Chains A and B, each alone.
Chain A
Amino acid sequence: MSEPIISIQGLGKRYRIRRFQEGHQYVALRDVLAAKLASPVRWWRGNGHHPFEHNEYFWALKDVDIDVFEGDVLGIIGRNGAGKSTLLKILSGITDPTEGRVVLDGRVASLLEVGTGFHPELTGRENIFLNGAILGMTRSEIARKFDEIVAFAEVEKFLDTPVKRFSSGMSVRLAFAVAAHLEPEILIIDEVLAVGDAEFQKKCLGKMRAVASTDGRTVLFVSHNIHAIQTLCTKAVLLTAGRIQAEGPTGSVIGQYIAQDDSSTGERTWSMDEAPGDGNARLTAVRVRSNRQISGVASNRSPVLVELDFVANTSHPGLCVGFDLMNAEGITVLRTYQTDQAPDRWPPVSIGHNRWQCVIPSGFLNGGTYYVCPRISIHNVNWIVQLDSVLAFEMLLDHGASPLWNSLSARNRPGLTAPILQWTCVQHEPASAPFELNEAAPRKKRFA
């Protein structure tokens, strides 16, 4: 086998968590100087620690070994805080590792956030050059690709408009377009698909696939979007608490990622300071109720209620609250938002605690394990919560009202869902007599 293009050996990154004693909430120069003057020798050597604090160390990454070969598209998955972003930051040189080493055999470009370095006051044209330079392109390279970038972003008409007047979709398109036209041997991408509308996301995915397959470049890709990982990546790595938990073909790693969550209690809650979200809204609980009881096991004989508790700080009319339902194969079975209905039926968002329920009707889901992936966003502006499988529940297929059902109940129906659909007869012509089969004709022929 040839030499890996990225070789990561025993990589570790340790952060210091600062805990200050009461009355010292932040590092003040006064305290540092006082401590340093007290021990001038240590100060000079530059290894003095901050006073009045108890350091606790936290390994964001530990003992990570990965070899990536040319042309690989490696997906990196894991929960929030598993160390994915830290790994990418080390690989792109933003932060130093604490231990271990990485050997990169080629030029690296990293795209950790779409539109990094965009300046709102500058025009689209100016920002293309600035952003390109920040991402590592030379001026002539940018000039050569300028038209291509503009065409991809579909912003021809607004080239000389300041970016602050762009719609959020336009600036995201422009930012991705610049980044997509980088030509490094190794491309590192973090969560770019978390923004933009569905059509543009599809375009981005297509472009990224082209980068990987046609151009044969090596791509490292982090996303919460399991579907994107599944379609793009040939291999995947699962990080759990800073360590590699699984590594290999994408399908099996995703399977382990999904199985990681054994929360079969039917409820997942967060305290206010841990609650995912931002200043606009925070998700505080997700529950699954079957027959009104919180339960990790549900039968589709009765409706399943998915309950979301969130604290809202905004009454923005574009606030969308919903979830994806993912099955054990990592396929999204459905996505639902309260805003799917007619506006007059949307539950009102009130500032403060909200508890909303979504009714998944009885006789709809197939049997198997389902994962609730909560999604909160401001429509077309930004994601607030975008979590994978925070809660699992077991669905028992039960078409109980049917007298024929019991004989089939041992197995799930083929298909993603197993809805009980309505059947009606719309036309009926009585025959004078039951028609007879022509016994002479071989049955085979009728289907040939």
Chain B
Amino acid sequence: MHADRHGKQVIEPGRNTKHYWREIWRNRELLYFLTWRDILVRYKQTAIGVTWVLLRPALTMAVFIAFRNLAGIKQGAVPEPILVCAAVLPWQFFSSALTESSGSLIANSNLISKVYFPRLLIPWASVATAFIDFLVTLALLGVLLVWYDAVPGWRLLMLPLFMGIAFALSLGTGVWLAALNVEYRDFRYVVPFIVQLGLFISPVAFTTASVPTQWRPFFVLNPMVGIIDGFQWAIFGSAAFVEARSVGVAVGVTALLFLFGVRYFRRMERTFADVI
């Protein structure tokens, strides 16, 4: 559906996509409401409520620190908890954003078959919800920085950039998987697998520096490598290991995934209501 110059809407086969982004802009309040709903709903009827947002990464961190101690992985210069925290937070954002957004269309199938609004808002709201959790958990990092008396330098200003890449990566992958999920429920099993496997090939439990040099070119193909390394770099600067190559790959892969993800989504969304 689109509005032409005279304010008339024309409905034709093969929806006109000229005003696609304008329509999304017009519905920005709905994006807000959907995000707001997801946040409100998540911790209703829970005993400790929002504490869960902090508890999950805190516990994950504890496990990883224990693991790294056992395995004898030590970076040295940087206090271990901060290093792990800077890796766990972006990873958890990505994994929960991907899980939530890929299932979001199915979870909202009653909306899709009964009301029209730009469908992209649904997975988008899921990613935004995870992003808000992410922002809250950054407080954890702040507390650790204060505790260890570590002062980040000017590079901290680059942090939003890496957060932006992480957001775009989650959104691009999320909308793609969400659209695929509508037609092939197989992706319900694929997504947890991606998330599980992704953890092993991302520098969360270990650092990129500990990956043998001959494997690095393959290792950095994972866009989360660039994002997590970049994150650590923004926080402790030169003490962290980061390669321009991995950041470049992260940006490139994210751009491609976003482009193809949204393209696929737009192609499929016309039939969502019929297929879901």
A interface, CB within 8 angstroms of B: 15, 27-30, 32, 46, 89-106, 108, 110, 112-113, 116-117, 119, 121-122, 126, 129-130, 133-136, 138-139, 162
Contacts and interface: CB of A to CB of B under 8 A. Distances in A.
Contacts of B7: 105-106
Given A15-B274, A134-B117, A91 B11 contact: yes
B210 interface: no
A121 B41 contact: yes
Contacts of A15: 274
Given A27-B184, A29-B184, A112-B115, A122 B9 contact: no
Contacts of A130: 33, 36-37
Contacts of A92: 115-116
B145 interface: no
Nearest to A92: B116
A250 to B, nearest CB: 26
Nearest to B184: A29
A104 B11 CA distance: 8
Nearest to B30: A133
A134 B11 contact: no
Contacts, number: 109
B183 A101 contact: no
A122 B41 contact: yes
A138 B27 CA distance: 9
B144 to A, nearest CB: 33
Given A89-B273, A92-B116, A96-B14, 4 more contacts: A91-B11, A122-B40, A134-B115, A136-B117
A94 B113 contact: yes
6 contacts: A29-B187, A32-B184, A102-B10, A110-B115, A116-B111, A126-B40
Contact of B29 (A108, A113, A116, A139): A139
B273 A138 contact: no
B259 to A, nearest CB: 16
Task: Sort A-B residue pairs by CB-CB distance and give the 9 closest, nearest first.
Answer: A93-B116, A29-B186, A133-B33, A93-B1, A102-B11, A104-B9, A116-B114, A95-B273, A121-B44
Residue of A100, A103, A139 with most partner-chain B CB within 10 A? A103
Given A28-B186, A134-B111, A162-B44, A94 B11 contact: no
Interface in B94-136: 110-117
Contacts of A96: 11-15, 270-271
A231 B29 CA distance: 37
Residue of A98, A104, A112, A133 with most partner-chain B CB within 10 A? A133
Contact of B11 (A90, A116, A133): A90
Nearest to A15: B274
Contacts of A104: 8-11
Nearest to B116: A93
Given A32-B184, A116-B110, A133-B33, A105 B115 contact: no
Contacts of B183: 27
Given A29-B186, A98-B13, A139-B29, A113 B114 contact: yes
A229 B183 CA distance: 37
B15 A133 contact: no
Contact of B273 (A29, A32, A94, A102): A94
B267 interface: yes
Contacts of A94: 112-116, 273
Interface string B247-276: 000000000000000000001001101100
B238 interface: no
A91 to B, nearest CB: 7
A116 B115 contact: yes
B45 interface: yes
B29 to A, nearest CB: 6
Contacts of A110: 115-116
Contacts of A93: 1, 11, 116
